[in-house]
Chains A and B, each alone.
Chain A
Amino acid sequence: MTATAIAVSGLVKTFGPTRALDGLDLTVTTGEVHGFLGPNGAGKTTTLRILLGLLRADAGSARLLGGDPWADAVALHRRLAYVPGDVTLWPSLSGGEVIDLLGRLRGGLDPNRRAELLDRFDLDPRKKARTYSKGNRQKVALIAALASDVELLLLDEPTSGLDPLMEAAFRDWLNAEERARGRTVLLSSHILAEVEALADRVSIIRAGRIVESGTLADLRHLTSTSITAELAAPPNGLAGLAGVHDLQLDGSRVHFQVDNSQLEEALRRLAAAGVRSLTSQPPTLEELFLRHYQTDLPAGERAEVSR
């Protein structure tokens, strides 16, 4: 057992004129839940497909569980499970059949975990795949992966299409079961809050490169809160406070973003002015990119980020 589950460096992949991966480096330690964060189109799925030996890298190196993802694909795939971002199933097979089939092709399925996951995700395995909604197809792929006897999980936006209740069920399972089992998880996502809730370490990808990588504490400077408040009087000294950004004053309404380290001080000043109403939100990935990388997202990426 190697201490590094995934080691990628200088990975390049081009599709015609498009440079999907542009020198990507990524390290995932054995046993950790690693968040792979970025907008759609940034290269997350391409990276995962290279790690699965479905695509061949043009340059750079990739090691997965100590092996070569392209040459040792079959042997490595016995030790990992993958949930694609876009799950399509065979319409004439039932959900239960797909779960069993994929589990058996991987090399084994734990029947107890299968039963428990079916229960937790509230999925009827007897329905034909053609009748499943997107969310239910996602559940089939998730259950097949989570119930497999493998040491590495590659999950590509696993909660897309799940309703909030099922999203919570997935988070609970990952935080309790997978942590207890100590499996390595690479979790790609475009939702900051999801990665914050689940991951030990995070790598942020943008336009085919990793722009930031570290533990959640390392990335704390990235996390800020977006605040909108209705005040009794104009606020005092908010504009001058360090860590406050994008301040907008509109009569008694105020909107700004504040780094979490300065949140307490900012709220104190709001309170001094008299708060009538207040809403706070985590920043979207788009806001985060705008603030920290000073680049607007290319038009193609932006449409899918907002959430």
Chain B
Amino acid sequence: MSTLAGTGGLVRLILRRDRLLLPLWVLLLGLLPVYQAAAIDQLYATPAALRQLYDTVVGTPGLLALLGPLFGATLGAITTWRAGLVLTIVGLASLLTVIRHTRADEEAGRRELLGATVVGRNAPLTAVLLVTFVADLVLGAVVASGMVGLGLPAASSVAYGLSVAAAGWMLAAVGALAAQLTEGAGGARGIGLGALGLAYVLRAAGDTGGQGGGLGWLSWLSPIGWAQQTRPYAGERWWVFALAVAFVIVLAAAAFALLARRDVGAGVLAARLGPATAAPSLRSPVALAWRLHRGMLLGWTVGLAVMAGVIGSVADSVNGMASGNAQLKDLLERLGGEKVLSDAYIAGAMVIFALAAAAYAIQATLRLRTEEEGLRAEPVLATSVGRLRWATSHLLFGLLGPTVALVAAGLAEGLVYGLVSGDVGRELPRVLAGALVQLPAVLVLAGIAMALFGLLPRLASVSWAALAVFAFLVLLGPLMQLSQWVLDLAPFSHIPKVPGADVSALPLAWLLAVTAVLVAAGLAGFRRRDLVSSA
């Protein structure tokens, strides 16, 4: 098997390159369902409570669409439903891992370097598939052993672990195939994400009808659907795993067949040509920034709007779901707002959207650092573009991009919630206001990223740690009963729970002032410092 020569060495190379990332997602995603099982066990301690939750969920198409089908009223079955998104996220992680070590390497020219050594043609793809398959299996083992540890049946827990692993395997195979198609890693990721999105939507559409619904067959067109149709803790259907394995074999075989036919660096789909001359509008740093940011802007806006729409569609049914469960009611109120549970649910979801928008704010602002490190800032700054003009061209997207995405989320959520509850005129402005009040806190993160970029460029990625700390404080801080001054460190803690609470302008104005100071410090620092090209 000379085409596989060097696979072992490449496996070690992948493990070395991903020595932090791989254990991180394997462990975090593996523990997530276990954590959720423990939380559900605490909140719904009696079979009667579980039964009531089951009845509510099965009667709420939006919840089934969001997370997946629910097959039983036991703790295990409800956990697999509640942690339904884990399948998609594991699939996503596996997909991106495969593309990162195949097409992305090829595009960067590293594949060529390896290809000239004693490495067989099939070795790189084989190596990354091996690593990803084993990682998914370990993840499944973490899930299974955690569930057994909580006292759930062993055989069912193994089936659940395997179903999570199978979702990862299938999407890894999708990634392997997508990586053969385009010349650019971005295009391959696009195809893979499109396939994952389609799998999610098909499953969501099929699951809305509940069991035996007219559209139920749609779930069977989706790999994610298959993983769920194995029905762990609800009369396992082991034969569905055969479908998953067959899917993996067919796609992987197709990927290897394409690999054997194409040149290194080439894709099956021909690369599209661009224009020979630039459009007249492409003549300023802002125009360049628009070209570089527009895909990200569209992705975040559509993504947040779709998620918000789904939340809006289920918000009205939350009242019924928590009725008779004082503990859950209490939790939601502490997390979200006052009085009406739906309002609390919407305000709570807004915090999540705000955190997502803040991640986008950091990502867009740190594009400055990416450009600087990638040596693409240098040619622009060597033209008659000043430091401030260049920096603000990207900062514009760091500030306006999250604003647009959050407004879109507010509009989508308000509109759908209004339609479901039957009063768009009342609900749309209330929900939109809930999104808008989050903005000052979101923009603080763009400010932090800008300040770090200008003053401590090598530490720019500390912005992400700041977001992680803030997210921890605002999501788990109240539950852990941390003292108020600690909670106040997070900008999101100062945001009123809208809809529901009254809005006072002062904290919002303070947050905007903090952002302004951070941005000004960052810009001033960047004007003064050397360009730092390598980390």
Task: Confirm or deny: A139 has a beta carbon within 8 angstroms of a beta carbon on chain B.
Answer: no
- B458 nearest CB across to chain A (Å): 12
Q: Which of B379, B384, B531 contacts A55 (CB 8 A)?
A: B531
- Give min CB distance, B420 to chain A, whole Å: 40
Are B378 and A84 within 8 A (Cβ)?
yes
Shortest Cβ distance from residue A173 to the other chain B in the assembled complex, whole angstroms: 20
Q: Which residues of A sit under 8 angstroms from B530, Cβ to Cβ?
A: 54-56
Q: Which of A75-83, A177-185, A229-237 contacts B (4 or more CB under 8 A)?
A: A75-83
Enumerate chain B interface residues (CB-CB to A < 8 A): 107, 183-184, 186, 271-279, 282-285, 287-288, 291-292, 374-376, 378-387, 528-531
7 residue pairs, one from A and one from B, having the closest CB atoms: A94-B274, A100-B278, A105-B383, A82-B382, A126-B273, A97-B278, A104-B283
Chain B residue at smallest Cβ distance from A118: B276
Q: How far is the CB of B515 from chain A (nearest CB, A)?
A: 27
The contact sample of 18 A-B pairs, CB cut-off 8 A, is A55-B530, A56-B528, A77-B384, A81-B382, A84-B378, A86-B375, A87-B375, A87-B379, A88-B374, A89-B376, A90-B292, A100-B282, A102-B380, A105-B285, A125-B276, A126-B275, A127-B273, A128-B271
A101 at the interface (CB under 8 A from B): yes
Q: Is A267 an interface residue (CB 8 A)?
A: no
Interface residues of A in 84-129 (CB under 8 A from B): 84, 86-102, 104-107, 125-128
Name the contact of B278 in the complex, choosing from A49, A96, A154 (C-beta under 8 A).
A96
Q: Shortest CB–CB separation between residue B463 and chain A, in angstroms?
A: 23
Q: Are B375 and A97 in contact (CB under 8 A)?
A: no
Do the beta carbons of A107 and B186 come within 8 Å of each other? Answer: no
Chain A binding surface SS class? mixed
- Using A93-B274, A100-B277 as known contacts, say yes or no to A105 and B291 having CB atoms under 8 A apart: no
The residue of chain B having its C-beta at the shortest distance from the C-beta of A52 within the complex is B382
B379 with A126: CB separation less than 8 A: no
Question: Do the beta carbons of A74 and B385 come within 8 Å of each other?
Answer: yes
Residues of A within 8 A of B387 (CB): 73
Chain B residues within 8 Å of A291, by CB? none
Asked if A130 lies at the interface with its beta carbon under 8 angstroms from chain B, I say yes
Q: Chain B residues near A125 (CB, 8 Å)?
A: 276-277
Task: Give the CA-CA distance A126 to B530 in the complex, in Å.
Answer: 34
- A127 neighbours in B (Cβ, 8 Å): 271, 273-274
Instruction: Let me know if A92 and B384 touch, CB within 8 A.
Output: no
Q: Which residues of A contact B528 (CB under 8 A)?
A: 56
Q: A91 — nearest CB in chain B belongs to which residue? A: B184
Query: Complex: how many Å from CA A98 to CA B279?
Result: 11
Tell me whether A90 and B385 are in contact (CB under 8 A): no
- Which residues from chain B contact A82 at a C-beta distance below 8 Å? 379, 382
| Cα separation A98 to B376 with both chains bound (whole Å) | 11
> Does A62 sit at the interface, judged by CB under 8 A?
no
Report the minimum CB–CB distance from A125 to chain B (whole Å).
4
- The answer to the question of A306 belonging to the interface, with a C-beta cut-off of 8 Å to chain B, is no
**Residue of B whose beta carbon sits closest to that of A144:** B379
- A130, B183: Cβ atoms closer than 8 Å: yes
Q: Closest Cβ of chain B: how far from A34's Cβ, in Å? A: 18
Contacting residues, chain B, for A99 (C-beta < 8 A): 278
A97 to chain B, nearest CB (A): 4
Complex alpha-carbon distance, A263 and B184, angstroms: 54
A154 to B, closest residue via Cβ: B382
Residues in A whose Cβ lies below 8 Å from that of B283: 100-101, 104-105
A141 near B384 (CB under 8 angstroms)? no
CA distance A78 to B383 in the complex (A): 6
Distance A60 CA – B508 CA, assembled complex (angstroms) = 48
Which residues of A line the B interface, CB within 8 A? 49, 52-56, 73-75, 77-78, 80-82, 84, 86-102, 104-107, 125-128, 130-131, 141, 154
Contact partner of B291 among A49, A87, A90, A104, CB < 8 A? A90
A53 and B526 CA atoms in complex are apart in Å by 12
Q: Are B107 and A96 in contact (CB under 8 A)?
A: no
Across the interface, which residues of A come within 8 angstroms of B184, CB to CB? 91, 128, 130
Please give the distance in Å from B141's CB to the nearest CB on chain A: 39
Contact of A131 among B271, B383, B531 (CB under 8 A): B271
Residues of B within 8 A of A53 (CB): 381
In the complex the two chains form, is B531's CB within 8 Å of A73's CB?
no
Complex: how many Å from CA A91 to CA B103? 14
Cα(A49)–Cα(B285), bound, Å: 20
CA A194 to CA B277, docked complex, whole Å:
32
Provide the residues of chain A in CB contact with B279, threshold 8 Å.
97
Q: A102, B276: Cβ atoms under 8 Å?
A: no
- A74 close to B276 (CB less than 8 A): no
Report yes or no: B379 in contact with A102, Cβ–Cβ below 8 A. Answer: yes
Q: Which residues of A contact B282 (CB under 8 A)?
A: 97, 100-101, 104
**Other-chain contact of A90, B287, B376, B381, B531 (Cβ < 8 Å):** B376
Q: B186–A91 contact, CB under 8 A?
A: yes
Residue of B nearest to A86 (CB): B375
Give the distance in Å from the alpha carbon of A128 to the alpha carbon of B270 in the complex.
Answer: 12
Query: CA–CA, A101 to B291, complex, Å?
Result: 12
Q: How far is the CA of A80 from the CA of B379 in the complex (A)?
A: 12
Q: How far is the CA of A179 from the CA of B157 in the complex (A)?
A: 78
Output the least CB separation between B286 and chain A (Å). Answer: 11
Bound Cα distance A80, B383 (Å): 8
Q: How far apart are B246's CB and chain A's nearest CB, in angstroms?
A: 35
Evaluate contact between B271 and A77: CB separation under 8 angstroms. no
Given contacts A86-B375, A97-B282, are A107 and B384 in contact (CB under 8 A)?
yes
The verdict on A84 contacting B375 (CB below 8 Å), with A96-B275, A96-B278, A130-B107 known, is: yes
Task: Tell me the complex Cα distance, A269–B338, Å.
Answer: 104
Q: Nearest residue in A to B376 (C-beta to C-beta)?
A: A88
Contact between A49 and B274, CB atoms less than 8 A apart: no
A77-B383, A96-B277, A105-B385 known, 9 other contacts, Cβ within 8 Å: A54-B378, A54-B530, A87-B379, A88-B374, A93-B291, A97-B278, A102-B379, A107-B383, A126-B274
Q: A75-B384, A130-B183 are in contact. Are A54 and B531 (CB under 8 A)?
A: yes
Chain A residue contacts of B287, Cβ below 8 A: 101
**Alpha-carbon distance A54/B379, docked complex (angstroms):** 10
Residues of chain A with a CB closer than 8 A to B382's CB: 52, 54, 77, 80-82, 84, 154
Q: Are A131 and B183 in contact (CB under 8 A)?
A: yes
Given contact pairs A49-B531, A126-B276, A101 touches B288 in the complex (Cβ within 8 A) = yes
Give the residue among A56, A81, A94, A106 with the most B Cβ atoms within 10 A. A94
A56 to B530, CA, bound (A): 6
Assembly CA distance A131 to B108 (angstroms): 10
B186 with A74: CB separation less than 8 A:
no
Nearest CB in chain A to that of B375: its residue: A88
Tell me, in angstroms, the Cα distance from A131 to B531 when the chains sit together. Answer: 27
